[in-house]
Every structure is written in C-alpha cells, then in structure tokens.
Amino acid sequence: MEFSRKSLVIKMLISAIFLLGLSSSSVAEFRLARHATTSTTIEYPALNCRKHSAVLTEFGGVGDGKTSNTEAFKAAIANLSQLAADGGGAQLVVPPGKWLTGSFNLTSHFTLFIHKDAVILGTQDESEWPHLPVLPSYGRGRDAPNGRFSSLIFGTNLTDVVITGNNGTIDGQGAYWWKKFKEEKLNVTRPYLIEIMYSSQVQISNLTLVNSPSWNVHPIYSSDIIIQHLTILAPVDSPNTDGIDPDSCTNTKIEDSFVVSGDDCIAVKSGWDQYGIKFNMPTKNLVIRRFTCISPDSATIALGSEMSGGIEDVRAEDITAINTQSGVRIKTAVGRGAYVKDIYVRRITLNTMKYVFWMTGSYGSHPDPGFDPKALPVIKGINYRDVVADNVTYSARLDGIENDPFTDICISNVNIKLTSKPKELQWNCTNIQGVTNQVTPEPCNLLPEKEIDCPFPEDRLPIDNVKLKTCSISGNF
C-alpha cells in the first residue's frame, strides 16, 4: 500500500512538471531591461502603478532564511502607507533572498512585489502569528471552536491592493502545522497563506505558493478580485490545503493557474449554517478559466460545503484535472439553507478520476448543534457541457435531499471512458431532476434524454472588463 502511494505521488509530480512546462506560454510576460551594469528594470501587469517604492532591506530586512523579518515588513508597510496617502500609492519590493516572517498586514493603494529569486518563509514561532476572532459567517474556526491565527499575508478593509511578483515564492512551511492538526493539538485554527477581508480591487498574481499551513488564498467579504498565474503546490496528503477559496465575494476572476493540493483545488464558499444564513453574503459573478488541478482525494472545483450565504452565477471553462477525485462537486446538507444556482461549466478535460459528476446533499459537518434542520438548500440550474474524461471509476453520483430535490440539471456532449475495473452502477442518482443529451455511458432515468445544448452565458461579467496596467520596478536585483 505504501509503495503504491509513493508511486502515485511520483506520477503526479511528473504530471505537474509536464503541465508546468506546457503552461509556461500562458504565464504573464515580464520585461527585464538593464539600464546600467548594476540596475535592472522589471515591468509587470497590475491594477495600478505606484508613485513610491521601497525595498525590504531599507527597513532592516535580512534575507538569510533564519532572521525574523516580521518587524521589517511591518515597518516598511507602515512607512509606505503614509506615502501612499498622497494618492500615488506605494510598492514594497521583496528582493532575492529567503525572508523568514510571521504574519503582517497590508495597506490600501499598495503593491507587494516578490522577486523571482525571493522566498517569503512562514515562521514556525507561533508568537509571531496574532490571533483573530472567528469569522462571523462561520461561528467557529474550521480546526477548533476558538479563534484563528492571522494569515501570513493579511489585509482587511482595503482598497486597491496587489500581491504579485515575477513568480516569486511564498512558502508556508506547513509541515509544522499539519503535524499539530493531525495530533489534535490545535486550540485555534491554522493560518492561511493569503487572506484579504472586506476589501475591493484586489489582485493576487504571478506567484508560487507552497506548503501552506491550511488554505492558500482566501478572499472573503470582498469584491472585484483578480487571481491569475498562480502555481500552488502542497503534498497530496496534507490536510485542508485548498488552493483558492473565494468566500462571500462578488465579481471575481480566477484564471491561468495550476494547483496540486491535499484538498479542493478551488472551493467556492459563503458561510456555515446559521451563521452564514444570518450574515447573508453570497458568492456571485465568479469566472474560472484555464485552470489545472491534481488532488487525488478532493474536487477540482467544489461549491460548498459552507454555502449558507448562497452561490450563484459561476462560470467555469477550459478546466483540466488529472489524478483527482472529482470534477465540479456540489457539497451541501440539511441546515445549510441558501442556494447554489446558475452554475455553468464547459470544456472540461479529465484523466484518472473517481467521479466525473458528484453532488452531495448529506455532507454533514456543522459548526455546532444549533443549526436549523428546516433550513434546506436550493440547488438548481446546474449546467455541464463539452466534457471528455478518461480512466474513470464512476460516471456520476448525484444525491439530492429527500423532499428537497436538486433540480434543473443539464448535462450535454459528454464522453466518459471507464477504467479497466469500473463500478457496475455508473450513474447513481437520488432526489434529482434534469435532462441530458449525447452523454455516454447512458445516464440514469432521472436525467432523461432531450435534444438540448446546455446553456453557457455569452455576456461578459464586469471583472472581465478590468484592464491591467504595465508597471515597473528598478533596482540592483
């Protein structure tokens, strides 16, 4: 069993390297020009360019991988925040080196630029991770009922914030946290790598994120978000290392990214049971395109299970998954309330999957016993088209809720090729309603054949109209 596990990991690493090679042409271009023998100018795409610029070493930063730079980051951002107030904005450059740090907070009209030869290392000194209260739409932490550690890079109530680089690295050094989680020694929830709250005009791009203690990228209660050109890597057995989790967010775009994860590669969320219902902030107007996932035990894209503020108008296209448990999975339960509706997915390529289609109405997992058993979720308007899958164990498991069926499901133009030892029952369907067209293997009786092409909206969401500017930094890098 151990040998087969190692073989799977090796195969996935080979696949990851291969995919990264293929995807290099899609990575945003960076221009490097040498103006003198010791000076380089790097141009990069961003929401806004900045009038003021500084380098972390100007504030005492030491890039030896051993010296804590938490105070250097805080001092740099505090200083640049004052300069940014004149309307020109400010940027902090993390130069080549290994920069050990605890959690630090960003500011508005600000860019954090991580050089390609720079690594931000998350410290394992817990005293450098401040505690935060639980999220109001969750009611408790995901790991423990009390508070949570602040994320490595954190921001709240911000406008116009950019976290980018020319493919610099953020390393959460998560093994320390994974061990504590598995040994049930956590009193508060593990930190994430990047979390932005109550903010607008957010860009997270052109970075490599590795070994997060838990979730990697978590925008929450925010709007107008661009996430692109990320490479996110974690061991496939690492706990809860979700790639990107848009949570109660509006007008978000995720594209041109690659995730190897121990959990869902993308998890779309909006709060948990009665807390999410009360907070009442949906995730809506979400675009996901040109995205690749490897996650043997989880989903390429999960909708839920914390979806109690609602999820609507999600558009996913040109999605690839390899050695992954499922494609687009809907996860919900009695007590969640709210809805998942108007979901559109097209052009999916899957290889070596347990499930192609998976919907779960009995996910369970509640913050506490106070959830309302009458709070039934509405799941409707779920559309999948143009799917090619190979080496599949189950075509579909679609389980709605008794007396609360999932409705208006549409699946068209799907070709699924099975593994050499597939399950005999390929379509397991309960409490659902919908139609299919040109789908093989033959779907269940609850999804009868109808001549239809499942819809996919052709209008553009507002986030697609945002144009990035060409910005620059100069220095002796």
DSSP string for 376-445: PPEEEEEEEEEEEEEEEEEEEEEE-BTTB-EEEEEEEEEEEEE-SS--S--EEEESEEEEEEEEES---T
pLDDT of residue 207 exceeding 60, the answer is: yes
Q: 17-31, 192-206, 421-435: which range is least confident on average?
A: 17-31
* Strands of the 194-197 sheet, one edge to the other: 104-105, 153-156, 194-197, 217-220
Q: How many residues does the chain have?
A: 477
- At 264-289, the pLDDT tens digits run 999 999 999 999 999 999 999 999 99
* C-alpha distances out from residue 233 to 17, 20, 86, 215, 243, Å: 11, 12, 38, 11, 8
Select from 3.20.20.120, 2.160.20.10, 3.30.465.10, 1.10.150.80 the CATH code of 42-462+469-475.
2.160.20.10
Among the options 224, 247, 256, 263, which is catalytic? Answer: 263
Q: How many helices (H) and strands (E) does the chain have?
A: 4, 30
CB 238 within 8 A of CB 210: no
Q: Where are the alpha helices (DSSP H) in 85-228?
A: 175-182
pLDDT digits (tens, 9 = 90+) for 352-372: 999 999 999 999 899 999 999
pLDDT tens, residue by residue, 125-164: 999 999 999 999 999 999 999 899 999 999 999 999 999 9
- From CA 427, how far away is CA 394, in angstroms rounded? 7
For residue 441, whether the previous peptide bond is cis, meaning omega lies within 30 degrees of 0, is yes
| pLDDT mean across residues, the chain | 93
Contact 380, 351 (CB under 8 A): no
The percent of the chain in helix, strand and coil, each rounded to the nearest 5, is 15, 50, 40
3-class secondary structure, 322:
strand
Sequence-distant (6+) residues with CB within 8 A of 1 are none
Two tokens, residue 472: 């620059």
Phi-psi group of 224: left, alpha or beta (phi > 0 → left; psi -120 to 50 → alpha; rest → beta): left
Domain spans, the chain: 42-462+469-475
* Residue 263 annotated among the catalytic residues of the structure: yes
pLDDT of the residue at 364: 87
Q: Look at strands 153-156 and 104-105 and give their pairing.
A: parallel
SS3 7: helix
Q: Pairing between strand 118-122 and 168-171?
A: parallel
Give the Cα separation of 41 and 22 in Å (integer).
27
Give the model's pLDDT for residue 283: 98
In the block, residue with structure tokens 């289609």: 357
- pLDDT band at residue 94 using 50, 70 and 90 as cut-offs: very high
Nearest to 409 by CA among 354, 358, 336, 460: 358
Residue 2: per-residue pLDDT: 37
Q: Write down the H helix ranges in 165-243.
A: 175-182
Whole-number pLDDT of residue 85: 86
Report pLDDT for 472.
95
